[in-house]
Amino acid sequence: MKQKINWIRLSAIGFIISIFTVVQTSCSKEIDQEEYLQVVGYVYFNNSQHQISITSYNSQRDSTYIMLPSDTLLLTEDLPTGKSYNNYLIANADSVTIVFGFSQIRKYTADSISERNIINLINYDYESDYQYTDYYSATLHKFTFEFTNEDYENALNY
């Protein structure tokens, strides 16, 4: 009988040690595990003399942004490793309509070939930076697009 009681005590102690080890390992992973993040910023400058309305369309959600002359629009997304992008962003849209000053319009799709296609990231100025802390490391991506009076002049009458 005494051996049975000792066996139960040893089993209980072993079980408690196992639970403690699992909990400690889980917690230390949460604290020590480094999170890698992609931070993407899209900066739009309205250097034209006209108000601009940008409407982006995609299968999940449509978004409209208004920019007065000299305005700057900043859209950001944080992408933890393995996550997908946000569909509400202009650069991730299926198509975009840009209205200049209530009278001129430009439409772009992802397939449109143009140096001014706002959906195509190749038409943006690009900068990259890397940041590292004890808790995360991140690559910062900055895409910049500038609207000019030439965009207004090349748009079609609305």
Residues 42-66 pLDDT 10s:
999 999 999 999 999 987 788 999 9
Q: How does the average pLDDT of the chain come out, rounded?
A: 78
**Residue 135: closest CA among 39, 23, 26, 36:** 36
The model's pTM: 0.71
User: Cα–Cα distances in Å, from 144 out to 42, 44, 68, 73, 77?
Assistant: 6, 6, 17, 10, 14
**pLDDT tens-digit map of 123-146:** 999 998 887 776 667 788 899 999
| Domain edges within the chain | 1-33, 34-157
Alpha helices by DSSP H, listed for the chain, are 2-32, 149-154
- Rg of the chain over CA atoms, in angstroms? 27
